[in-house]
C-alpha cells in the first residue's frame, strides 16, 4: 500500500495498546476528554492497517472493516475524519479500508489501533502534516485510548483541563527498546463484547458508588507507574498496575446494572498469573473492558507465562507480542 497525498490516498499501520493505569470515565463526552490520565504500552504484533482514499463522488464516507461494509460505525468515523477535513478546508468524502490482525472489539483495543491508523492515513490523504500531539488530540476524539496508539513503547495520556480539550493528549514516556517487556494475551472469548467502553464508562460514572473513589485514586497510581517505568522497577509496576486494574473493575462491578466483563477463564488466568509471580516469575496481569487477560512479562519470562496460560481451561488462543512503534505510514 503505497503512500501518496497527490492521489488522495494514504495507508498507515498502528499497534494496539493497553493500559497499565486505566482510562475509565469521561470528563467531557462530546469532546471525548477523559476524566483521568492513563499509562499504556503499545504492541507490535497486534495492529490495524488502514487505507484512506479520497472519493469526490461519494456523498458519505464508507468503511470496510475486515472485508465487511460497516455502515453502523460510519457516524463515529465521519466525526473523526471531519476534524481533519476542517483542518484541510475540504469537504471530500473518504473510503476507509481497514484490517485488524486480531479479534475486533473483544477487549483487545481495536478502537485504539483503528483510530490511530485512521488519523495517520487520513491526515496524509488530505495533504496535511500534523504534529504527533495534534494527531493524538484528533485520535482521542475517535477513541480515548487511540490517542495513546499514536506513540510507541510506554505512553502517558494526560486528561488535561482546558475546556476545548487542547491539553488532553498522549506523550511518549519510554521507548520500547529501553525496557523491552513482552506480553501474552489469553483470549477467552471471540465475539464482540456486549457493553462497549463508552456506555460502560457512562454507566459506571452515573451509578457506581465506587466511581468517585476510582477517579480520586488515579493521580497517585499514575505517579507510581511513571516512577516504576523510569526506574525499570518491574515489581513496583506490577503492584500498581494490578491494583489499578482491579479498582477499575470494582467500580464497573458496582455499577447498576452491573458491568461484569470477565468470564470464568479470565479469573482462572488471573490466579495463574498470581501463582507464577509468587513462584518468582516476573509477570503481572491487566484486564480491559472484555474477558481477555493480558499478562505483562519481564524479559525472559514470556515462555513460561505463555505455556502456563495456554493450559488454563477456557483459553481459546494465546497471542504474544513485544512492544512496538507508534502509528506509521506504510
For ligand PMV, the binding residues (CB under 6 A) are 18-19, 22-24, 38, 111, 143-145, 197-198, 288-289
Q: What share of the chain is helix, strand, coil (3-state, %, to 5)?
A: 40, 25, 35
* CB-nearer residue toward ligand PMV: 111 or 208: 111
State the Cα–Cα distance between residues 317 and 186, nearest whole angstrom: 6
* Residue 34 CB, nearest approach to ligand PMV (Å): 8
**Residue 254 near residue 203, CB atoms below 8 Å:** no
* CB-nearer residue toward ligand PMV: 195 or 329: 195
* CB-nearer residue toward ligand PMV: 17 or 308: 17
* Residue 320 CB, nearest approach to ligand PMV (Å): 20
Number of other residues whose CB lies within 10 A of the CB of residue 111: 24
23 CB-contact burial (10 Å; exposed 0-12 / middle 13-18 / buried 19+): buried
**Residue 325 near residue 176, CB atoms below 8 Å:** yes
* Residue 271 CB, nearest approach to ligand PMV (Å): 21
* Residue 129 CB, nearest approach to ligand PMV (Å): 25
Q: What angle do CA 287, 291, 293 make, to 5 degrees?
A: 45
State the Cα–Cα distance between residues 249 and 76, nearest whole angstrom: 26
* CB-nearer residue toward ligand PMV: 106 or 305: 106
* CB-nearer residue toward ligand PMV: 3 or 202: 202
**Residue 64 near residue 22, CB atoms below 8 Å:** no
* Residue 132 CB, nearest approach to ligand PMV (Å): 18
* CB-nearer residue toward ligand PMV: 93 or 203: 203
* Residue 7 CB, nearest approach to ligand PMV (Å): 31
Sign of CA dihedral 100, 192, 170, 125: positive
Amino acid at each position: 500500500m503505497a503512500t501518496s497525498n497527490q492521489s488522495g490516498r494514504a495507508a498507515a499501520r498502528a499497534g494496539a495498546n493497553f493500559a497499565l493505569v486505566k482510562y475509565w470515565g469521561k470528563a467531557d463526552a462530546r469532546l471525548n476528554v477523559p476524566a483521568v490520565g492513563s499509562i499504556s504500552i503499545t504492541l507490535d504484533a497486534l495492529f490495524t492497517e488502514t487505507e484512506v482514499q479520497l472519493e469526490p463522488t461519494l456523498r458519505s464516507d464508507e468503511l470496510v472493516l475486515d472485508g465487511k461494509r460497516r455502515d453502523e460505525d460510519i457516524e463515529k468515523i465521519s466525526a473523526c475524519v471531519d476534524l481533519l477535513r476542517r483542518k484541510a478546508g475540504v469537504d471530500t468524502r473518504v473510503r476507509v479500508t481497514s484490517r485488524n490482525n486480531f479479534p475486533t472489539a473483544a477487549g483487545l483495543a481495536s478502537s485504539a489501533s483503528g483510530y490511530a491508523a485512521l488519523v495517520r492515513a487520513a491526515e496524509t490523504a488530505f495533504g496535511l502534516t500534523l504534529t504527533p500531539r495534534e494527531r493524538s488530540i484528533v485520535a482521542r476524539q475517535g477513541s480515548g485510548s487511540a490517542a495513546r496508539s499514536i506513540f510507541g513503547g510506554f505512553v502517558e495520556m494526560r486528561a488535561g483541563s482546558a475546556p476545548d480539550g487542547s491539553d488532553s493528549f498522549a506523550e511518549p514516556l519510554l521507548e520500547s527498546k529501553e525496557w523491552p517487556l513482552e506480553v501474552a494475551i489469553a483470549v477467552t472469548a471471540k465475539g464482540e463484547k456486549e457493553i462497549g467502553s463508552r456506555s460502560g464508562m457512562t454507566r459506571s460514572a452515573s451509578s457506581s458508588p465506587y466511581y468517585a473513589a476510582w477517579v480520586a485514586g488515579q493521580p497517585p497510581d499514575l505517579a507510581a507507574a511513571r516512577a516504576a517505568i523510569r526506574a525499570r522497577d518491574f515489581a513496583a509496576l506490577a503492584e500498581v498496575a494490578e491494583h489499578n486494574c482491579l479498582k477499575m473493575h470494582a467500580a464497573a462491578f458496582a455499577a447498576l446494572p452491573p458491568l461484569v466483563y470477565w468470564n470464568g477463564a479470565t479469573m482462572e488466568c488471573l490466579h495463574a498469573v498470581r501463582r507464577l509471580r509468587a513462584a518468582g516469575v516476573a509477570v503481572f496481569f491487566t484486564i480491559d473492558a472484555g474477558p481477555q487477560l493480558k499478562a505483562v512479562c519481564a524479559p525472559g519470562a514470556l515462555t513460561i507465562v505463555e505455556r502456563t496460560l495456554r493450559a488454563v481451561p477456557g483459553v481459546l488462543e494465546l497471542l504474544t507480542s513485544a512492544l512496538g512503534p507508534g502509528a506509521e505510514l506504510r
